[in-house]
Structure 1
Amino acid sequence: MGAEVRLLGLNDLHGHLTGRGLAYTDPYTGRTGPVGGVATLAAMIRQRRRAHAGPTFVVHSGDMTGGSPAEAALLRDEPVIRVLNQLGLLVGTPGNHEFGAGLPEFLRLVRGGDGFEGQNFPLISANILHRPTGRTLFPPYLVTAAGGTKIGFIGATVRFTPLLTSPGTVDDLDFLDEVDAVRACLPELRAQGVHAIVLLLHEGGHQQTLPGGEVSARVNEIAASLPEIGVVMAAHTHHSIHTYVGNTLVMQAAPFGRAFCDVRITLDPRTGRIATADGELVPVWADGAAEPDVAAIVDHALTATAEATGRVVAVSSRHLVSGRDGGATHAGESPLGNLLADAMRATTGAHVAFTNPGGMRAAIPAGAVTWGDLFGVLPSGNDLISCTLTGAQIWELLAQQRRHRFRRNLAVSGLHYRYRPHDEHGGEVVEIRLGPAGQRGAPIRPDASQRYRVAVNSFLAAGGDGYRALLGGAEVVGHGSELGALVEYVATLPSPFDAAIEDRIVYDRVAKTN
């Protein structure tokens, strides 16, 4: 048997330099505990590199920057790249969030500029086509050697990135089908004598039982379509994955630096293929040792942003969460979503408000709530706008949720509605009424007879997440930043403030329209 190679895989860090407010539940043991930050992560990665006598490669599968807490975002994510540079990465692939501030800013972080040194490792992606040049934005793959056998790493980024980023940020790019793009690389790699292939994939799925349980959604489809791939290092869906699709090992760690993947592969020196592959998801517990050089980067970022982030805005009576942290009902309603939608409606004076659950990136902690905490909820920098929609357009907007799973429904304020499920992905809106849940307010009818002022963020207003009904909004007015609205709103609430699930969205097996 050939050399044993270790792959230490990172994914979906999203600029989380510290473990503040984060917990992790080990999917193998059920243990739950607080999480250490990137200095602890660095110590664990270095320890595992030292402990393995053979080749060890550190790789990432995207979304390392973007959607970051204030201590990273206010410094343009530069501390995050400096941390990654210290980890000795071999290669990474971009996720959708790396494009959140636009292509020029992303390339500045990668290549350097404005006094920043850039990153010291390459990115690869086979399916991002740069239209002005007609070539892939980054090399599609990287080849290295281990124990005399070549290993090829191919990158691929979720093809829905244009829907997942603010319109206009990736206009010069085409995101091709991941399977087609990866498959096109295989003859080139074979011609170079490369038969051991690892896919760094910014796309993922959901797995209920680890290890070895079935994984759903697109990573399953992609892996099943590419049996030549020995290992898929997945990302994007923020779920832990450890399983096989056919003979292909699929691994994905929990987001925000809660854990990393440790994959062990053996290479067959006769065929050059991956003979065996297995691994584990390694928790980054808060009681672990911290690496001083990485801790110094984190401390500098915290100090540089402390004046802005440390200002106390209000006091929360409890931990307020969205669906991202398991706080949503089956219909997608969450306390944090309700609070944010209420803030948007109060600031704009609109009849109703809608906000996307994917935009809420962190929970609000119990106790003193700082500006930095609220920034962590809304790090994307969206503006708040209001526009006029007809009743028919509101019905169309809610119907467009059909493409998302239940818990991905829009957060709402100023109306409540009932939804009849068809299957696990969505269903049919059967009733919409103005006002709080529990009160039979005036119905919003699916016609153009009534017009309503609607508050949304700029991402949704531009058709983000595929909500194209909002592109027809009339009489558009800006109201400053979405974050500013949340900060000002919670500061006006009774202290301590709270938010709750109020049955604003209800699933019915039987329609109730009378």
Structure 2
Amino acid sequence: MTLRLLHYSDIENVYDDPDRLGRLAGCIDARRDDRTVVVGTGDNTAPGVLSLVTEGRQALDFFDAISPDFGTFGNHDFDYGIDRTRELVRRSPQTWLTVNVREGDDRFAAGAGTAPYATRNIGGTRVGFFGVTTPETASINPNASELTFTDPIAAAERTVSRLRDEGVDIVVALSHLGRGDEALADAVDIDVILGGHVHSERVEQLNGTLVTRPGVNGHVLLEVAFDGGSEPTVTRHRVADAPRNEDVAGRLYERKESAGLGSVVASVDDPIERTKTTTFRGESRIGNFVADAYRWATDAAVGLQNSGGIREGDPLSGEVTVGDLVSVLPFQERVVVAELSGDELLDVFRQAHDPTIGFAEHDWWHGHLSGVELVWNRAENALESATIAGREIRDDATYSLATTEYLLHSDREFPALDIDHHVETGDVQYEVLADYARRFGIDPQIEGRIAQR
């Protein structure tokens, strides 16, 4: 018996690169046969420039081209509200699986075609699939706040027990839990966890369970094969080497042409990287650019951008357009001003090194700052010092902070910030970046704002 699982996840910004999306579709086409199951494990409709413009509809071009078998929800799949998500479920060819996303007393989008689990008989082997989504979603995506995300471990236990009772030979979890996959593998009798949410690749055996993640933005397709051996094998396919599906690439090129985001705002001579390494390892040029724009636009004392909000992509280089800046922050979030005491502000700075955020690696740094110089002691896991304009922060003074509206609603990132601190609402993030770029150009430098030792 040969069973092949083709696994993609978190493809997000790939829709802004029609060539790569066409090759991802082509890679799936080349590996598929009648014993193949194609699955996506969340964040495959948003974010991105085209996603923002079409409110996720651009994903239907890809789904229609590859006809996935199953998918589950990621936190970004609710970026445009639950009604839009429900529409995408109804219009896409795959069956969306979820055992822990609830709308009132019912499974989310049950009327649109979601299911808790599904089974396939392939070569005499019965395979069961189910989907789980991180319970953090309601707090990290305000557009999903009307939904309930129940305990994924308890929901998985009930579902796997039912699948085993139905005689399933292999159980496959489609997971958007991030680091929660470890707990899932430890607690539940699952053969394969196809994961997502965390943007690094992973292939690992945990407690007899194979756990995989393909990384972000459609660079890699993972193939899990059961060929009759004692353990499944995993093959990593580089999408750049695959043939291109011209139909889906052409559709995306047409969408980009009609998006109207080609206005040039500045020129960049020294390319500005926005990789996972640059955005999550401390001070970066792209982070300084964003935080400076926020502070300038609002005249706040401090600018703050969460690292996870800056999306990976090609460097900003040469002529930079509005569309390029949308790709940096592809959300309809506004810049807001919050007022905090000095004591609260210091707590915000401390939370820039938070190892508990579910999508993060343990050593990531989560904030980019403007108007501040701080020193973080990694050995002590403590803030050594922080100054604004060269002055120590007074606990009892009041300070203004410009940031993204999202952080006032999230209790996962920078929980010291909340809606009670809000005093002013500004423009949409990428519009602030565009205005700042037109006025000052784009040439941020590393200035020693964040020192880690």
TM-score, with length taken from structure 2: 0.91
Q: 1:187 to 1:328 in 2, by over 3 A?
A: closer
For residues 169-218 of structure 1, the C-alpha deviation after alignment (integer angstroms, 9 at most, x for no partner) is: 223322223222111112211221113111111133xxxxxxxxxxxx43
Counterpart check, 1:338 vs 2:338: no
User: Which of 207, 216, 223 is equivalent to 1:255?
Assistant: 216
User: Which of 55, 59, 62 is equivalent to 2:42?
Assistant: 62
Q: 1:134 to 1:40 in 2, by over 3 A?
A: closer
Please report how far the alpha carbon of residue 125 of structure 1 lies from its aligned counterpart in structure 2 after TM superposition. 1.4
User: Which of 390, 394, 406 is equivalent to 1:459?
Assistant: 406
Tell me the number of residue pairs that the alignment of Structure 1 and Structure 2 aligns.
442
Q: How far apart, in 2, do the equivalents of 1:263 and 1:475 lie? A: 48
Matched with 1:213 is none
Q: 2:98 is aligned with what amino acid?
A: S
User: Which of 223, 233, 238 is equivalent to 2:185?
Assistant: 223
C-alpha contact (below 8 Å) 1:12/1:255 kept by paired residues? yes
What does residue range 253-332 of structure 1 map to in structure 2 within 5 Å? 253-266=214-227, 275-285=230-240, 288-305=242-259, 308-322=260-274, 324-328=275-279, 330=281, 332=282
Please report how far the alpha carbon of residue 230 of structure 1 lies from its aligned counterpart in structure 2 after TM superposition. 1.3
Q: How far apart, in 2, do the equivalents of 1:193 and 1:499 lie? A: 60
Q: How far apart, in 1, do the equivalents of 2:312 and 2:163 lie? A: 41
For residues 462-509 of structure 1, the C-alpha deviation after alignment (integer angstroms, 9 at most, x for no partner) is: 345342322265561122111111111111225xx322222211224x
Q: 1:453 to 1:90 in 2, by over 3 A?
A: same
Please report how far the alpha carbon of residue 159 of structure 1 lies from its aligned counterpart in structure 2 after TM superposition. 2.1
Matched with 2:168 is 194
Q: How far apart, in 2, do the equivalents of 1:219 and 1:388 lie? A: 37
Q: 1:347 is aligned with what amino acid?
A: A
For residues 258-299 of structure 1, the C-alpha deviation after alignment (integer angstroms, 9 at most, x for no partner) is: 1111110146xxxxxx953111111111x6432232123212
Matched with 1:470 is 417
Matched with 2:116 is 140
For residues 113-157 of structure 1, the C-alpha deviation after alignment (integer angstroms, 9 at most, x for no partner) is: xxxxx1111101112222x22446542211111123211001111
Counterpart check, 1:408 vs 2:408: no
For residues 306-350 of structure 1, the C-alpha deviation after alignment (integer angstroms, 9 at most, x for no partner) is: xx222111111222234x4311474x2211111100000011111
C-alpha contact (below 8 Å) 1:82/1:119 kept by paired residues? no
User: Which of 17, 22, 32 is equivalent to 1:39?
Assistant: 22
**Structure 1 stretch 410-419 or stretch 217-226: which is displaced more?**
217-226
User: Which of 242, 255, 280 is equivalent to 2:203?
Assistant: 242
Q: How far apart, in 2, do the equivalents of 1:103 and 1:328 lie? A: 29
Provide the secondary structure at the position in 1 that maps to 2:144: coil
Provide the secondary structure at the position in 1 that maps to 2:231: strand
Q: 1:17 to 1:163 in 2, by over 3 A?
A: same
User: Which of 6, 9, 22 is equivalent to 1:8?
Assistant: 6
Counterpart check, 1:162 vs 2:138: yes
Q: How far apart, in 2, do the equivalents of 1:474 and 1:18 lie? A: 35
Provide the secondary structure at the position in 2 that maps to 1:429: strand
User: Which of 373, 381, 386 is equivalent to 2:337?
Assistant: 386
C-alpha contact (below 8 Å) 1:389/1:473 kept by paired residues? no
Provide the secondary structure at the position in 1 that maps to 2:12: coil
**Cα RMSD for the two superposed structures:** 2.1
Q: How far apart, in 2, do the equivalents of 1:457 and 1:501 lie? A: 22
Q: Which has the larger radius of gyration?
A: 1
User: Which of 365, 380, 388 is equivalent to 1:434?
Assistant: 388
Q: 1:84 to 1:346 in 2, by over 3 A?
A: same
Q: 1:411 is aligned with what amino acid?
A: H
C-alpha contact (below 8 Å) 1:83/1:297 kept by paired residues? no
Matched with 2:358 is none
Provide the secondary structure at the position in 1 that maps to 2:338: strand
Please report how far the alpha carbon of residue 91 of structure 1 lies from its aligned counterpart in structure 2 after TM superposition. 0.5
Q: How far apart, in 2, do the equivalents of 1:201 and 1:313 lie? A: 40
Q: 2:236 is aligned with what amino acid?
A: L
C-alpha contact (below 8 Å) 1:333/1:409 kept by paired residues? no
Counterpart check, 1:485 vs 2:432: yes
Q: How far apart, in 1, do the equivalents of 2:366 and 2:216 lie? A: 21
Considering fraction of residues, name the structure with more helix.
2
Please report how far the alpha carbon of residue 10 of structure 1 lies from its aligned counterpart in structure 2 after TM superposition. 0.9
Q: How far apart, in 2, do the equivalents of 1:505 and 1:291 lie? A: 44
Q: How far apart, in 2, do the equivalents of 1:95 and 1:252 lie? A: 13
C-alpha contact (below 8 Å) 1:345/1:351 kept by paired residues? yes
**Structure 2: which 5+ residue stretches go unaligned?**
356-361
Identity %: 26
Please report how far the alpha carbon of residue 408 of structure 1 lies from its aligned counterpart in structure 2 after TM superposition. 3.0
C-alpha contact (below 8 Å) 1:261/1:281 kept by paired residues? yes
C-alpha contact (below 8 Å) 1:355/1:460 kept by paired residues? no
C-alpha contact (below 8 Å) 2:331/2:429 kept by paired residues? no
Matched with 2:98 is 125
Matched with 2:57 is 78
User: Which of 354, 357, 366 is equivalent to 2:307?
Assistant: 357
Q: How far apart, in 2, do the equivalents of 1:321 and 1:162 lie? A: 31
Please report how far the alpha carbon of residue 376 of structure 1 lies from its aligned counterpart in structure 2 after TM superposition. 0.1
